[in-house]
């Protein structure tokens, strides 16, 4: 079973973006409600208020609001401005290039892409004593362990595309003194890394037959010559599966469909 924290750590390992641990002590002045932390792109694991010899742990969203990208802590009406003499001890981790919340979005996109249209068939015995089969969609929790690396690579690729977009906006700098800063080199290096990771992801998917490059089998639809209707298709079943047949509804190409929405009259089985 794979969890999100484990996968985020693997993605950071591929990116070489491990971040750093930090611990800040914020002293109340009675005037300030906003405090800048020592790091940016942060994830706060613990915020402890020490006041008049007593301490209690602060709750995110209730006692304070965290601006992760800026590394700023905003104490809410219940607590801010932070009273004079009060101390808040903040512990957490800086994400380096990206924080966990933003990286989790790229990971979720990678899960949707890598596990698209995949199911795991589970066999069980019903209360009536019959064998039943149920299809469960493949998610991060049910992903096989051998597919962790391809998924982490795909998530890293998704993040690097965002980095490449940002780097493409940076112009080269030329000064009168002859100084030249080639910022376009950053974009070229990021694109080269994306190309290498995509090639590695493609090779792993083809070897394991998983992900976006897996081989898929499809069933051709047949049209009845008598009424020009599609012949129904049912999902193949195991010989001991006593459940009702499951109807398949493959997508139909409707590019040349009549857009008017006017129904065609039917007279004696013939269309008008």
Task: Work out the pLDDT band at 170, boundaries 50, 70, 90.
Answer: confident
pTM of structure: 0.71
Task: Work out the pLDDT band at 272, boundaries 50, 70, 90.
Answer: very low
CB distance 75 to 33 below 8 Å: yes
Percent of residues, the chain, with pLDDT higher than 90: 28
Task: Work out the pLDDT band at 23, boundaries 50, 70, 90.
Answer: very high
Calculate mean pLDDT across residues 12-20: 87
Beta strands in the chain (DSSP E): 20-27, 34-36, 42-51, 54-57, 64-67, 72-75, 87-94, 119-125, 131-137, 173-174, 180-181, 233-234, 247-248, 266-267, 270-271
- Scanning 143-229, the segments in alpha helix (DSSP H) are 148-167, 184-208
Calculate mean pLDDT across residues 44-68: 87
Phi, psi of 10 (to 5 degrees): -70, -40
* Distance separating alpha carbons of residues 236 and 238, to the nearest angstrom: 7
- CA distances to 109, 138, 202 from 206, in Å: 20, 18, 6
Task: Work out the pLDDT band at 269, boundaries 50, 70, 90.
Answer: low
pLDDT for the residue numbered 265: 67
pLDDT for the residue numbered 1: 64
pLDDT at 80 over 50: yes
Condensed to tens digits (0 to 9), the pLDDT of residues 104-144 reads: 999 999 999 999 888 888 888 888 888 888 888 888 888 99
* Distance separating alpha carbons of residues 164 and 151, to the nearest angstrom: 20
Higher pLDDT: 171 or 6? It is 6
Residue with tokens 């037959």: 209
pLDDT for the residue numbered 71: 87
- CA distances to 26, 64, 84, 123, 220 from 271, in Å: 79, 67, 84, 46, 26
pLDDT for the residue numbered 25: 92
Q: Which residues contact 2 (CB under 8 A, 6 or more apart)?
A: 140, 141, 143, 145, 148
pLDDT for the residue numbered 20: 83
Higher pLDDT: 171 or 138? It is 138
Calculate mean pLDDT across residues 47-52: 88
Closest to 121 in 3D by CA, of 208, 246, 221: 246
pLDDT at 180 over 80: no
Q: Which residues contact 203 (CB under 8 A, 6 or more apart)?
A: none
**Domain ranges, ordered by start, for the chain:** 20-94, 100-173+182-213
Mean pLDDT lowest among 16-20, 90-94, 211-215, 262-266: 262-266
Closest to 113 in 3D by CA, of 102, 122, 101, 105: 105
Higher pLDDT: 78 or 137? It is 137
* Distance separating alpha carbons of residues 164 and 31, to the nearest angstrom: 42
Condensed to tens digits (0 to 9), the pLDDT of residues 205-217 reads: 999 999 999 998 8
pLDDT for the residue numbered 94: 85
């Amino acid at each position: 079973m794979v969890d999100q924290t484990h996968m985020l750590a693997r993605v950071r390992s591929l990116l070489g973006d491990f971040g750093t641990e930090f611990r800040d002590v914020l002293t109340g002045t009675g005037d300030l409600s906003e405090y800048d932390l020592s790091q940016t792109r942060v994830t706060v694991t613990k915020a402890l208020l020490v006041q008049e010899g007593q301490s209690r742990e602060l709750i995110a969203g209730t006692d304070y609001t965290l601006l992760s990208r800026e590394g700023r802590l905003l104490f809410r009406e219940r607590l801010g401005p932070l009273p004079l003499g009060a101390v808040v001890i903040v512990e957490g981790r800086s994400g380096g290039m990206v924080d966990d919340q933003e990286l989790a979005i790229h990971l979720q996109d990678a899960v949707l892409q890598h596990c698209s249209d995949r199911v795991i068939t589970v066999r069980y015995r019903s209360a009536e004593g019959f064998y039943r089969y149920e299809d469960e969609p493949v998610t991060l929790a049910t992903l096989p362990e051998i597919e962790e690396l391809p998924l982490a690579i795909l998530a890293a690729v998704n993040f690097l595309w965002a980095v490449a977009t940002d780097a493409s906006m940076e112009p080269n700098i030329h000064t009168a003194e002859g100084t030249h800063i080639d910022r376009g080199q950053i974009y070229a290096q990021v694109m080269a890394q994306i190309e290498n990771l995509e090639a590695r992801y493609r090779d792993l998917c083809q070897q394991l037959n998983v992900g976006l490059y897996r081989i898929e089998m499809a069933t051709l639809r047949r049209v009845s010559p008598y009424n020009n209707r599609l012949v129904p298709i049912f999902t193949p079943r195991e010989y001991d599966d006593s459940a009702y047949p499951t109807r398949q509804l493959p997508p139909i190409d409707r590019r040349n469909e009549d857009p008017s929405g006017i129904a065609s009259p039917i007279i004696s089985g013939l269309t008008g």
